[in-house]
Chain A
Amino acid sequence: MSYLFAAYMAIWILIFGYTLILGRREKQTQEELFLLKKTMEKRLEC
């Protein structure tokens, strides 16, 4: 039974870990995009 538990724990740790990495990447890229958009708007106004 402990092998079964270990296997499923490993599966979920890997899947959730990857999902968290994707979430972090998404947040970073969206923040960067909005900052760049603001910078571009400012430059166009000038």
Chain B
Amino acid sequence: MTIHNITSKGRFHNILAWATFIAVSVSIYMIFMWVPNEKVQGPVSKIIYFHISSAWLAFFAFFLVMVCSVAYLKTRDLKWDVIAYSSAEIGVLFTTIVLVTGPIWGRASWNAWWTWDHRLTTTLILWFIYIAYLMIRSSFSEEEKKARFSAVFGIIGFIDVPIVWMSIRWWRTIHPTVVSSGGFAMDPRMVATLLVSLLAFTLLFFYLLQKGIFILNIKNQTQIIKQKITEIR
């Protein structure tokens, strides 16, 4: 692999960047100009489009961490560890968005920034689990050991994702249910806006993931070159 190959992202990255930009712009237009306000909540109801999209993408990111962690433990190929790490970082970003926008919506709707509701509490635990995952990674210097420990943590940590998802069904909660067995409990225009927001955030997720993987690959190549220089000495 040449230095040029390592450091150039390729055409796909630019296409993904533009597709993300267009999808996010369309979703913003739909949220602020097209979709009507919810009758009871008013304008604050528009927070849910990016709130729900962030939550779904956080779940997907942590699912990807789990899948790549299993793949790493099976194959011991560091490329799976690179994808898992990048995905975990983005998952933490989206969970942070959920934990910031949720209380803002809650303050306007429930008159409280935070309640120890099961959905909110399990989401906070999820955030702590993956912050710990990132901290564990930074505490190891040996690549193989770091990848192995974080893979195990990535698999165990995923247990909280179905708990967060099912918390509004298993326990009494004040958190609203948007998606139930009967489909979306919303106006069709709201559903369309939510789906476009979800598409926009999915593209954003893959854009950030590709960028993260690209950077980690350069770092790994840097390590290899450092080793070669030491051997030449």
* A residues neighboring B (CB under 8 Å): 1, 3-4, 6-8, 10-11, 14-15, 18-19, 22, 25-26, 29-30, 32-34, 36-37, 39-40, 43-44
Asked whether A6 lies within 8 Å of B218 as measured between CB atoms, the reply is no
Bound CA–CA A40/B229 (angstroms): 6
Tell whether B26 is near chain A: CB-to-CB under 8 Å. Answer: no
CB-CB under 8 A from B214, the residues of chain A are 26
Asked whether B3 lies within 8 Å of A7 as measured between CB atoms, the reply is no
Bound CA–CA A40/B208 (angstroms): 31
Asked whether B229 lies within 8 Å of A43 as measured between CB atoms, the reply is yes
Asked whether A29 lies within 8 Å of B107 as measured between CB atoms, the reply is no
Mostly helix, strand, loop or mixed at chain B's interface? helix
Quick one: which of A11, A32, A39 has the most chain B CB within 10 A?
A11
| Total residues of chain B contacting the partner, CB 8 A | 37
CB-CB under 8 A from B208, the residues of chain A are 18-19, 22
Bound CA–CA A19/B210 (angstroms): 12
Asked whether B43 lies within 8 Å of A1 as measured between CB atoms, the reply is yes
8 further A-B pairs in the complex, CB-CB below 8 A; given A29-B215, A33-B3: A3-B47, A3-B105, A7-B51, A10-B100, A11-B100, A14-B93, A18-B89, A19-B208
> Do A37 and B3 form a contact, CB below 8 Å, given A1-B43, A18-B208?
yes
Asked whether A4 lies within 8 Å of B7 as measured between CB atoms, the reply is no
Q: How far is the CB of B211 from chain A (nearest CB, A)?
A: 5
Asked whether A33 lies within 8 Å of B229 as measured between CB atoms, the reply is no
> Do A4 and B93 form a contact, CB below 8 Å, given A26-B218, A43-B232?
no
The closest CB in chain A to the CB of B53 belongs to A11
Bound CA–CA A29/B225 (angstroms): 12
CB-CB under 8 A from B72, the residues of chain A are none
- Report 12 cross-chain contacts, Cβ distance below 8 Å, ordered by A residue: A1-B43, A3-B104, A7-B50, A10-B104, A11-B50, A11-B54, A11-B97, A14-B100, A22-B212, A26-B214, A29-B215, A37-B3
Asked whether B101 lies within 8 Å of A7 as measured between CB atoms, the reply is yes
Q: How far is the CB of B92 from chain A (nearest CB, A)?
A: 9
Tell whether B222 is near chain A: CB-to-CB under 8 Å. Answer: yes
The closest CB in chain B to the CB of A33 belongs to B222
